[in-house]
Amino acid sequence: MARMSKETLHDAIARLHAELRDTPQLDDEARRMLQEIAGEVGGATGTETHAPRLEAMAARFEAGHPSLAASLRGIADALGRIGL
């Protein structure tokens, strides 16, 4: 199960990177924040808790960028499944 969840997390991070690349209308601050969290989550060691920050970012992007919000929530869910 943990392997499957880690694969799910990897897929969710890959989707986030693709959406960042394909969403040119993001402002520089939003793009920087999303890239930062993607990097942090990709290197998660098990001591970090990213879910609250991911949820806050998802709420920020919900209206203007719903696919980014969904990706962030998917990452938060995957992290929860593997205990991060």
Q: Kindly report, residue by residue over 27-68, the tens digit of the pLDDT.
A: 888 888 887 877 777 666 555 677 788 888 889 888 888 888
Q: Whole-model pTM?
A: 0.69
- Judge contact between 69 and 61, C-beta under 8 A: yes
Structure-block tokens of residue 72 = 């962030």
Residue 65 CA to residue 6 CA, distance in Å, equals: 25
Q: What is the mean pLDDT of the chain?
A: 78
* pLDDT for 50: 76
Name the H helices within the chain.
Answer: 2-22, 28-42, 51-61, 66-81
Residue 73 CA to its chain's centroid (Å): 7
